[in-house]
Amino acid sequence: ETGVTQSPTHLIKTRGQQVTLRCSSQSGHNTVSWYQQALGQGPQFIFQYYREEENGRGNFPPRFSGLQFPNYSSELNVNALELDDSALYLCASSRREPGTDTQYFGPGTRLTVL
Amino acid sequence: GESVGLHLPTLSVQEGDNSIINCAYSNSASDYFIWYKQESGKGPQFIIDIRSNMDKRQGQRVTVLLNKTVKHLSLQIAATQPGDSAVYFCAEGGFGNEKLTFGTGTRLTIIP
């Protein structure tokens, strides 16, 4: 186990709704990255948070947004859900220092959009 | 890191044999490479990593080889066990590791 936790485990929403996913980073880690993994594919980078600010973003629209809190936990918010948003959402925590930036993943949140 | 849909490359290996999983990465500027193992219904699990200033790194039963000339990465697993059955992903990152770009993934099946 990595010590990275995510909630909820599963979630079912309908098109147009909004969703918030949560992630608690591993003890000692100060950086959280979010990934989307569609069925049968590799994870795709959404964005990363460091010191409560977005630090890099992948090719995802603005309706994907996030937050990082002082305790380094993080939220991923998705507005105006679309069917293609159905995926496993993964967060990964790391410690942003030279040579110690391995990303450790949580178990993921399975989002189904109907 | 382009996806190829549901048809992952597959590799079947007899229990106890060695396995080699290959990966071609895309960005010659990538500085950091990682192998992850993902079991069904779980998040990716870190196996081993290597930086671009190395060409080989060994862990417990695993070895990663990096060939920067042809942008190729491989994972060798020695004496495979049933618990090694999973999908294996290579990932590449830059110096600051803001973003990991994942490869296609290879499904490894260990035959008892």
pLDDT digits (tens, 9 = 90+) for A53-84: 998 899 999 999 999 999 999 999 999 999 99
For chain B, what is the mean pLDDT? 89
Least confident of A79-83, B5-9, B20-24, B106-110: B5-9
Cβ of A42 within 8 Å of Cβ of B102? The answer is yes
Chain A residue whose CA is closest to B31: A99
In which band, very low, low, confident or very high, does the pLDDT at B97 lie, cut at 50, 70 and 90?
A: low
Comparing CB atoms, the residue among A38, A40, A45 nearest residue B100 is A45
Judging by DSSP bridges, how do beta strands A87-94 and A104-105 pair with one another?
antiparallel
With CA atoms as reference, the chain B residue closest to A34 would be: B99
pLDDT of res. A102: 87
Q: What is the pLDDT of residue B4?
A: 32
Whether residue B5 and residue A94 make contact (CB cut-off 8 A), yes or no, is no
Q: Are B21 and B33 in contact (CB under 8 A)?
A: no
* Dist. CA A79–CA A63, nearest whole Å: 5
Give the model's pLDDT for residue B64: 97
Question: Residue B84 and residue B88: Cα distance in Å, rounded?
Answer: 10
Minimal Cβ distance to B97: which of A41, A90, A94: A94
CB-based contact B1 A42, cutoff 8 Å: yes
The minimum CA-CA distance between A60 and chain B, rounded to whole Å, is 13
For A6-40, give one letter per residue: b (16+ CB within 10 A) or e.
beeeeeebeeeeebebbbbbbeebbbbbbbbbbee
Q: Which residues contact B43 (CB under 8 A, 6 or more apart)?
A: A2, A4, A90, A105, A106, A107, A108
Mutate one of A91, A103, A104, A109 to test the B interface: name it (highest B CB count within 10 A): A103
Note whether A2 contacts B46, CB cutoff 8 Å.
yes
The predicted model gives A41-58 an average pLDDT of 93
Q: How many CB pairs under 8 A join A and B?
A: 72
User: Which of A6-15, B27-36, B93-102 is most confident?
Assistant: A6-15
Per mean pLDDT, which range of A24-28, B4-8, B49-53, B57-61 is the poorest? Answer: B4-8
Q: CB distance A101–B97 less than 8 Å?
A: yes
End-to-end Cα distance, chain B: 32
pLDDT at B31: 87
Which residues of B fall within a CB distance of 8 Å from A101? 32, 93, 96-97
Q: Is the peptide bond before B44 cis (omega within 30 degrees of 0)?
A: no
